[in-house]
Structure 1
Amino acid sequence: MHTVSLDEQDSRMGPASTVYALTDALGASNLALNYYELEPGESTAYGYHTHEKQEEVFYVESGELTFRTPNGEVTVGEKELVRFGPGEFQQSRNTGDDTAVVLAMGAPQDPGETVLRRECEACGGETRHGVELAESGDEILVRCEECGDVTGRYE
């Protein structure tokens, strides 16, 4: 058994103000687990994406998240959950006026290939992107795989 306190976690760089990667802290081997505190407009993901092998469940403790899906937008409110199966595209965004507190669970822990899509101004549309740590190590870059432009920076 492992127990952890959120008060003892360090937030990692990412698309939300607070991101605690709890998988390793808990010693989980079959489940990916992340805790988020998202300010209005922030997301749990770097873009519209899918995981080849992993299903994801999001529990919204407080606030609300609106998910972009192939079938349109779906808003998940306080004390609600949503599940995405392997291969289902989605991206969340805090569309509320308050901080959203969210727990994201993924199984199996290894998501397989992740396909990430974002708007690229240089390419004139939504393209496939990759995520990388900047050479300086102080930010995460999201880069268009077609033209190489950086379309997002996260500290």
Structure 2
Amino acid sequence: MRKVRLADLSSRMSPADVSYPLADALGTTDMSLNYYELAEGDSTSFGFHAHEDQEEVFYVEAGTLTFRTADGPVHAKSGELVRFGPGEYQRAVNEHTERAIVLAMGAPREAGETDVRRYCEECEAETTQTIELADDRDSILARCENCGSETGRFTDE
């Protein structure tokens, strides 16, 4: 058994204002577990993405999230859950001024290949992306796989 307190954890760099990797803190072996607090415009992920081997469930504790899906937007408000199967594309964003709090659960813990897509201004299209730690280690970068352009930079600030 392992017990943790959110107040004792350190947030990691991500597209969310607060992001706790609870699976690491709890030492889970068969599931991924992440806690997010999202300010307006924040997201739970670096882009529109699908996990090859992982199913994900999002529980919205507070606020409202808008999930971009292949079938159009899906809104989930406090007290609601949303499930995505392996290979289903999604991206959750807080489009409201009210802070959103969400718990994301995935199984198995290892997601397999993850296909991340973002809009690249240079290519004038949504393209596949790589997600990497910047050389100075102060931010995480999203880069277009087609042209190498930076399409996003995520820091702790």
TM-score range, shorter chain: over 0.9
Misfit runs of 4+, over 4 Å: none
Aligned amino acid, residue 143 of structure 2? R
Q: Distance in 2 between matches of 1:33 and 1:111?
A: 12
Match of residue 44 from structure 1: 44
Q: What does residue 32 of structure 1 align with?
A: 32
- Aligned equivalents of 2:40 and 2:142: distance in 1? 21
The alignment-based identity, stated in percent, is: 55
Say how many residue pairs are matched: 155
> Map of 1:105-124 to 2, 5 A cutoff?
105-124=105-124
State the match for 1:147 in structure 2: 147
Q: Structure 1 unaligned runs (5+)?
A: none
Following superposition, the deviation at residue 96 of structure 1 comes to 1.8
Distance in 2 (CA, whole Å) between partners of 1:95 and 1:123 is 26
Partner Cα distance (2:139, 2:69) in 1: 28
The answer on 1:80 being equivalent to 2:80 is yes
Alpha-carbon distance between aligned partners in 2 of 1:22 and 1:123, rounded to the nearest angstrom:
36
**Aligned equivalent of 1:94:** 94
- Hey, what's the Cα distance between the residues in 2 that align with 1:9 and 1:70? 34
Gaps of 5+ in 2: none
Q: Secondary structure at the match of 1:72?
A: coil
Q: Give the RMSD, CA atoms, in angstroms.
A: 0.5
**Which amino acid in 2 is paired with 1:62?**
A
